[in-house]
Amino acid sequence: MPELDDPIPISALQHAVFCIRQAALIHIERLWEENRFTAEGRVLHEAAHDPSRRTRGLVRRVTALPLACRRLNLSGTADLVEFRREAPGGPETPFPVEYKRGKPKLHRADEVQLCAQAFCLEEMTNRSVTEGALFYGGTKRRVVVPFDVELRRLTEETARAFGSLLAAGETPPAVYKHDRCRACSLIDVCRPKATTKTAAGFLHRAVEETLLRDASEAP
């Protein structure tokens, strides 16, 4: 397979769905790398503990499968892909399974990441991939995800939006959303509130203030 030019890491898409600035801080500015590695480490660990690992029969299971999609310039690794056959000797249909810590989430970040894997598998195998699954460590359950039109569109849009930031090396400005930012592990480096203020104005005010203050009220 030919190398892609600066491909978009599939794992970046889940961050980009949550917050595109977060994806830029992690994947463009390389902030919080250790954090990412520990998270990935744990994911692999959980993969090894999936009880469904023992199933055999018409399913061929491949773990840590490298993936790429030229059309969307994606690349990454699937935790697990099940190649399923209807009958012995029949054609194989890929079914990606992604391992996640915790529980199913309200936003669609995990589904988008999975759908991106489906795009890769479709391009690489020339088979249509209609569904996959997310396995949540917290609930020890598989959630089947159909790759419908809407999810495919969201995934493509996310890949294109993040891809152009990645190519330009840009970090978009912060948009402060209380609930989202509070749950964000990058809030201390992102400073979503501070970066919407004007620093030039602050400096002027601070100087005015300090000039007005006389010795009797020095700090």
The site for another protein (CB under 8 A) is made up of 28-31, 169-171, 173-174, 188-189, 191, 194-195, 197-200, 202-204, 206-207, 210-211, 213-219
Alpha-carbon distance values, 73 to 3, 76, 92, 188 (Å): 10, 10, 25, 31
Closest separation in Å from C-beta 15 to ligand SF4: 9
DSSP code string of 144-213: EEE--HHHHHHHHHHHHHHHHHHHHT--PPP---HHHHHT-TTHHHH-TTGGGS-HHHHHHHHHHHHHH-
Select the binding partner of residue 87 from ligand SF4, another protein, none (C-beta < 5 to 8 A, by kind). none
121 φψ region: left (φ > 0), alpha (ψ -120 to 50), beta (else): alpha
Select the binding partner of residue 186 from ligand SF4, another protein, none (C-beta < 5 to 8 A, by kind). ligand SF4
Cβ neighbours for 79, distance < 8 A, ≥ 6 positions apart: 43, 44, 47, 63, 64, 97, 98, 99
Select the binding partner of residue 181 from another protein, ligand SF4, none (C-beta < 5 to 8 A, by kind). ligand SF4
Closest separation in Å from C-beta 190 to another protein: 9
Q: Is 165 in the site for ligand SF4 (CB under 6 A)?
A: no
For another protein, the closer CB: 56 or 182:
182
Select the binding partner of residue 206 from another protein, ligand SF4, none (C-beta < 5 to 8 A, by kind). another protein
For another protein, the closer CB: 150 or 209:
209
Angle value at C-alpha 192, between 187 and 196, nearest 5 degrees:
165
Select the binding partner of residue 184 from another protein, ligand SF4, none (C-beta < 5 to 8 A, by kind). ligand SF4
Nearest to 43 by CA among 143, 135, 141, 113: 135
Count, residues in the chain: 219
Select the binding partner of residue 189 from another protein, ligand SF4, none (C-beta < 5 to 8 A, by kind). another protein
Beta bridge partners of 85: 92
Closest separation in Å from C-beta 8 to another protein: 17
In this structure, what token pair is assigned to residue 121?
A: 């598998």
The mark string for 18-57 relative to ligand SF4 (x by CB under 6 A, - otherwise) is -x-xx--x--------------------------------
Applying CB under 6 A, the residues found at the interface with ligand SF4 are 19, 21-22, 25, 174-175, 180-181, 184, 186-187, 190, 192
